[in-house]
A and B are shown apart, each in its own frame.
Chain A
Amino acid sequence: MIHYEKFQLDNGLRVIFHQDKTTPLAVVNTLYDVGARDESEDKTGFAHLFEHLMFGGSVHIPDFDAPLQNAGGESNAFTSNDITNYYDQLPAKNLDTALWLESDRMLSLAFTEKSLEVQRNVVIEEFKQRYLNQPYGDVWLELRPLAYKEHPYRWATIGKNIQHIEEATMEDVKSFFKTHYHPGNAILCIAGNFELQEIQEKVNHWFGSIPSQPKKVRNLPKEPIQTEFREKTLERNVPTDAFYYAFKMCPKLHPDYFITDLISDAIGRDKSARLYTSLKKNQKLVSEIGAYVMGSIDEGLLIISGKLNPGISFEQLDQALWQELHTLSNEEMSLKELNRLKIKVRTAKEFQEQGALNRAMNLCFHELMGDIEEINRENEHYEKITPTDMVRVSKVLFTKENCSLLKVKSNDAK
């Protein structure tokens, strides 16, 4: 059970307080309801570039990190296709420092040309380091536009290409801030050894006077239902052939979401999973294989990926893989297998809830999804899943016309 208190400021900021009497640290987590899906298609990579700029100084404070470090704390952030999330951890006594910094950058940024120029370069190097200068690094730049045709999930958070980042202007930056960075578009969670009243006072003090803005109505293009099998082959200078099967799956709030997640566990979570034991251990077709769901808010993807053993063809793999998937969609699994999957989920969740930082991030995310109490119901959802549910959802998922396949073929002279 994760306990929490919720309140909202007049300017629209939603605040969650999570009391943890065991830690000497405070966590300040700020989620902004903006991700790569909110970008326009000719200016991709912007939400993530913007995350970097948020550390380049705000309206009253020239440098974000130094005062936080001086208070014994540190900070970081991440951007996904759905959200941008910032977090600070520091000694509880110095909570005010984090609130001062976070509230000032919610109020307004410094917008210096220097910061924009440098962070453009930093992000371009990040692009190279993660996506271009790694074997198989560009897979996500290719798989997304194969699986999505209309929805903005068709580009990666880093952006479609380096040019979009190079072309970002100060005007773009300012308008992005104005649209997405304001109290009504944010969720703040504070965790630590505090009392509700002092948190209410502090949050009001630092954030209360930030002007509210109208929340932008999100109107994303809906992804049409996929009706045909899609396939693309990349030839790359990589040592082994690799495969990425992407199956469209339900949005995060759909009741079948947890079932789909458990299906991905059944086929590819660990060394007892079906694809691992069958395709790797028994048939020796692959050197590695795994499966997972992307966890997207809108219609998502279930991914099966791996690498072929030398001398094995994509066709051999394809046949064996579909056979396993058909078994899953046609035969109910034993309760023993189902229970094995469930206890793994329960154990992993218990570990995720160990740290106050994880709990704070999760609370913000669940609040964003509309019902924060869901955070305490997740286990129930998994517990209720039956073998019949697994077959029903597998049948919908694992059809050829619901699948996009990306093959990376090695063009190494062997």
Chain B
Amino acid sequence: MLNRLNAPTLHPIDKIEFIEPAVFEIAPKVKLFHMNEVANETCRFDLYFHAGSIQDSAIVSSLTSALLLSGTANKNAEQIQEEINALGGFFETGVSQENAVISIYALKENLVAIVKIVLDAIANCSFPEQEFHDVINERKQKYLVQQEKVSFLVQRAFQQRLFHDSPYGQITQIEDYNKVSREEVMEFHKKHYLSGLNKTALVGNFKMDEIDELIDLCGVLQSEAKTNHLPIIQNLRGSVHIEKKDALQTAIRVGRTLLQRNHPDYHDFIITNTILGDYFGSRLMSNIREDKGYTYGIGSMVSDFKGFSYFLIATEVAKEVKEATLTEIQFEIKRMQTERIEEEELNLVKNYLIGQMLKSADGPYSMMDLFLSAEMHDTSYDFYNEAIDKINHITSDRIQEIAQKYLNWEDFTIVTAG
């Protein structure tokens, strides 16, 4: 007879296989990491530059990234786009405080040709006047739309207070678009792209001669070893509210800066964070969404920079329950500090976290991301094996201890907008 009342027997995951990429050298300090065994014809090539916003300003780093394909002495922006699109290439850029990254997605037969076009465009970029003004205009328009969103308002104010008085906390104001000059962008490009290539990552089934060709192509971007990060910053504690008339919802951010990845408490903090707010069954979700119905979603997370990390709770709630939500968040944190977690809940979180680890190691693309994340922090796959070990051995007492040490309300930056 079919038994629907009892859950099927669970099988623990005994092993997660982490696959090392092959490593090649572009320049003495610049590597190409290669992961193959892709099941189809797709590939991805990432180029990392020390060209994040802390090198200059948020606006200059972001405009430079946006203008990388704006034209050279021989080709205008349209021609460059046309050539890449004719090879079916997808080109993406991203800029954070510490890094700028370019990613190219394509069928592997077209990759080398696309990289050739992209690298020529970047190495010889002339930043045409007109393109510069077009991007400024586009950004201004986007900014005006963004500032109508409570999530945007709260995020900016939170960033400023979280990374108080440091280059990590700088944000772009609308008037900055009238002040920034093309020369600043060109100078940034010269310093941080032409001599800022830091590493590259290739996923796809390539042979040695194709890899050699990519290595040669990357040689045009000389690299100098320099730093791209700063040590930990103390967040500005206390609450602030940003008024937005007619908003139906209030956005809330609560957080603080925290330990570096190599700190002995780091892994245990990640587990504590998961219990509190980082999965669908977390305490914040169970209470504030699934019991009270105050929000469509609430979560907490930990994000890393090279020298430190930060913890953050984010949600958007009905306007009239803003205070009630803050009270419930405080209540759930207090509960983590004063009550021991039950074995059943702890085991669930352990199993969930190991399952998530298995998922982040599933397939060559995920595996490369996992590797890059470790490499970015000067660690290796040992970091994940250590995480698995910590997950398997953490106790309820230890979680309580971590919550008491790092989750104190008076240490938090709290920002609301609505």
Contacts and interface: CB of A to CB of B under 8 A. Distances in A.
A135 B148 contact: yes
B355 A122 contact: no
A345 to B, nearest CB: 8
Interface in A171-227: 205-206, 209
Interface string B96-132: 0000000001110010000000000000000000000
A336 B86 CA distance: 8
A125 B318 contact: yes
A239 B7 CA distance: 54
A79 B90 CA distance: 29
Contacts of A107: 4
B159 interface: no
Given A97-B10, A240-B144, A354-B42, A65 B293 contact: no
Interface string B283-318: 000000111111110000000000000000000111
A100 B81 CA distance: 50
Nearest to A345: B88
Contacts of B107: 343, 346-347, 350
Interface string A63-83: 001110111111100000000
Contacts, number: 198
A37 interface: no
Contacts of B40: 350, 353-354
B363 A271 contact: no
B230 interface: no
Contacts of B147: 239
A340 B13 CA distance: 46
B105 A60 contact: no
A75 B10 CA distance: 17
Nearest to B11: A93
B55 interface: no
B351 A237 contact: no
Interface in B65-82: 77-78, 81-82
Nearest to A103: B4
Contact of A66 (B88, B291, B294, B348): B348
Contacts of A272: 78, 81-82, 85
Interface string B346-373: 0111011011101101110100000000
Interface stretch (A18-26, A41-49, A247-255): A18-26
B351 A133 contact: no
A339 interface: yes
Interface stretch (B161-169, B244-252, B262-270, B379-387): B244-252
Interface string B2-24: 10110111110100100000000
B149 interface: yes
A128 B293 contact: no
A129 B78 contact: no
Contacts of B8: 94, 96-97, 100
B5 A60 contact: yes
B172 interface: no
B48 interface: no
User: Number of contact residues on A: which range applies?
Assistant: 35 or more
B29 to A, nearest CB: 32
B281 A65 contact: yes
Interface stretch (A8-16, A113-121, A290-298): A113-121
B85 A344 contact: yes
A128 B352 contact: no
Nearest to B144: A239
Given A60-B4, A344-B88, A350 B42 contact: yes
Nearest to B37: A22
Contacts of B150: 133
Contacts of A240: 141, 144-145
B138 interface: yes
Contacts of A310: 141
A119 B87 CA distance: 47
A59 B5 CA distance: 9
A270 B105 CA distance: 14
Interface string B47-74: 0000000000000000000000000000
Contacts of B318: 125, 128
A359 to B, nearest CB: 10
B363 A354 contact: yes
B85 A71 contact: no
Contacts of B208: none
Contacts of A66: 281, 348
Interface string A158-174: 00000000000000000
A61 B4 CA distance: 8
B13 A72 contact: yes
A134 B246 CA distance: 11
B295 A239 contact: no
Contacts of A303: none
A320 interface: no
B290 to A, nearest CB: 6
A277 interface: yes
Nearest to A107: B4
Contacts of A123: 296
Count chain A CB atoms within 10 A of each CB in B13, B106, B352 and give the residue with the most.
B352
Interface string A123-160: 10110111011111000000000000000000000000
A351 B105 contact: yes
Given A118-B292, A133-B247, A89 B81 contact: no
Contact of B4 (A72, A104, A126): A104
B358 A24 contact: yes
Interface string A25-68: 10000000000000000000000000000000001110001110
B4 A309 contact: no
Interface in A262-292: 270-272, 277, 281, 284, 287-288
Contact of A91 (B13, B78, B347): B13
Contacts of A104: 4
Nearest to B365: A354
B137 interface: yes
B175 interface: no
Nearest to A72: B355
B279 interface: yes
A129 B316 contact: yes
Given A129-B249, A287-B138, A347-B107, A71 B10 contact: yes
13 contacts: A24-B16, A60-B4, A69-B279, A91-B13, A94-B11, A96-B8, A104-B4, A120-B293, A122-B289, A128-B248, A130-B296, A135-B149, A284-B134
- List 3 A-B pairs, minimum CB-CB distance, nearest first: A72-B355, A121-B293, A239-B144
Interface of B: 2, 4-5, 7-11, 13, 16, 37, 39-42, 77-78, 81-82, 85-90, 105-107, 110, 134, 137-138, 141-142, 144-145, 147-150, 246-249, 279-281, 289-296, 316-318, 347-349, 351-352, 354-356, 358-359, 361-363, 365
Given A96-B8, A100-B4, A336-B86, 11 more contacts: A69-B351, A70-B348, A70-B352, A74-B279, A121-B292, A123-B296, A133-B249, A135-B149, A136-B145, A281-B77, A354-B39
